[in-house]
Structure 1
Amino acid sequence: MIKFRLLLWALGLLMKKGAKNNPDFQKQLEGKDFAFQLQTEGAGIVRQYVIKDNKVKTKGKAHKEPKFTISFKDAETGLAILTSKDKNAFMKGIQDKNIVISGDLSLVMWFQGISKYLKPKKKK
């Protein structure tokens, strides 16, 4: 449970860092103004991410009007899917009903697209 919370927090940190230092990621933020959240079912664990003015802000609580929400069955499932090396883990999670998505699917696709910018750089 703590690992999942830490992962959601770290995701926010990587997004903030990308917004400052990564020109490709910065392009993805241009013109965006919305909030989304990642959580466990029933919002036992929840973190909001607010994209506005080419910046990312994050808080460890629910947002009043997220444009989309990705709910994982539980913290263990969320951790496993978000850290999986399998490119199909997310889709499989949806098919197996371990992930429930609500809201704007085009923004969910945007989020999946930016995930490639959020992987820590490998040290050479």
Structure 2
Amino acid sequence: MLKFKFLLWAFAQMLRRKIRSDASAARYVASKSLVFQIRTVSGAGRYFVIKDGTVRSSSGLAATPRFTLTFTSAAKGFEILSAKDAQAAFLRGVGSKDLTISGDFREVLWFQGLTAFLQPPKVVLPYDRTVF
């Protein structure tokens, strides 16, 4: 449970840092107003508020989130959120019912775009540029 809660807190810190340091990320959230939450079935979780180009997060659950990511357990939530192949892990989680997504799916897709800013840049090696 503690690892899951720490991961959610660290996620908010990473988003804040990226928005401050990356102009593209700052533009992406500039005009957005959104409240969403990531939680477990048992009620542990955190909600995130994106407003006026900033990200805030608080422990607990929001009264009226636009969407919610609900995990069956904190261990499953940590496993899916910290997976190296995040997109595939999300799809497996939804397929196995370890992850339930409720709310506005357009906002979920926007959120997926936001998390793409947290991915490390792809490095193209010189020999990968050849035609052979």
Q: Which structure 1 segments of 5+ residues have no match?
A: none
Is 1:68–2:43 an aligned residue pair? no
Identity %: 35
Q: Which structure 2 segments of 5+ residues have no match?
A: 122-132
In the alignment, what sits opposite 1:82? 81
Is 1:22–2:22 an aligned residue pair? yes
Aligned length: 120
Indicate if the aligned counterparts of 1:68 and 1:107 stay in contact, CA closer than 8 A: yes
Deviation track 1:25-82 (CA, whole Å, cap 9, x = no partner) reads: 1122021111000001131x11010000000011011111100000011011011111
Which has the higher relative contact order, 1 or 2, with Cα contacts under 8 A spaced 6 or more apart?
1
RMSD: 1.4
Indicate if the aligned counterparts of 2:19 and 2:26 stay in contact, CA closer than 8 A: yes
In the alignment, what sits opposite 1:3? 3
TM-score (norm 1): 0.90
Larger radius of gyration: 2
Letter in 1 for 2:47: Q
**Structure 1 residue ranges (4+ consecutive) displaced by more than 4 angstroms after TM superposition:** none
User: Displacement of 1:19 after TM fit?
Assistant: 2.0
In the alignment, what sits opposite 1:53? 52
